[in-house]
Structure 1
Amino acid sequence: MTSLPEGLPTAIGEEDRDAAVRRLQEAYADGHISHEEMDGHLGQVLAAKQRSELDSALSSLPAEKPGTTTMIGAASGRIKRRGAWQVPRTLKVASAYGRARLDLSRAVIEHAVVDIELALGTGRAKIIVPRDAIVVLDDLQTGWKDYRYRPPRRSSGSRGPEIRISGTMGFGRLTVRHARR
């Protein structure tokens, strides 16, 4: 096996680009950069082909907060979070045979955007989001049954956190609903 010489440019993948875009969106949502700065950086990120170009586009952003990703996993059984629990920026939920129930209605959410990445084999999942949350399910892949989500009929006027749900569901069903109170 031959190793690559040091100092060669490192190509980036779609995951790297997506993570950079999320960092830009979070910096903008948190007020660290202006709309114009975000547009400029976004153009750099989307045009980047090498790691150095991506790093250059993100160099003026504040450092990522440590511990913003949490993993919850179980081979079987139930994964359950409810009440006043601290929601990380990225929550990864993995289970081969169990159920998952995440109630964010009374949770402490400090981030403008929360990513929930599911990796569930069999068993169903239920996620309850705050009344004013924006739910995005674009990157969710379901194997057996489609997810159930009905956006609220009318807006309350206030804008809550954006909850982006992605990942894979095998033979279970995901149900997402807004809190009633």
Structure 2
Amino acid sequence: MIAKLKGRLDETGEDWAIVDVQGVGYLVHCSARTLSALGEVGEACTVHTDLQVSENDMRLLGFAESAERDWFRLLTQVQGVGSKVGLAILSALSTGELRDACAAGDAASVARANGVGPKLAGRIVNELKDKAGALPGGGMAGVAVGSVSKAGSASADAVSALENLGFKPAVAAQAVARAQAELGEDAAEGELIRVALKRAAG
């Protein structure tokens, strides 16, 4: 089983990246947080991975930190949570936010994720609340876009603005995260949107 890749970031897409390891390109499907944390194309990167094998497909999932992978594995044990939904949840919430939401039974926070309704969010927090304390939270993936998911913040408003312009949620979140990393946490909404549009279009 492939557990980790260390190489160069060769290419990125809406929810995937190609990591070049000694001339071999590995396609890994990632959350928006992981894509933001990996850095720019051409830079060295490390990706923690999980290989999913089905009857007709093999998919390599990539994570910026092992804690995110641990949470992904836990999430996908819940009925109704496949790899796509698992990555959507990890795009919307940092590992620390997810841990706190499960521990507190805060289904509304989990329901912010794309494709997660109130019923599924409730099932997730109910099934994982007793396990949440055993897993770590925070870290690099949380820092990368941690403030994007906070309702009412400039970054959340910027993400919403990009979505209204037709960008998909994962693309909008990734672009705003990169803009905020450049401009700082106190950046105004207008500045975030201006820089994020350049990143999303690029």
TM-score normalised according to structure 2 size? 0.24
Larger radius of gyration: 1
Select the structure that is richer in helix.
Answer: 2
TM-score normalised according to structure 1 size? 0.25
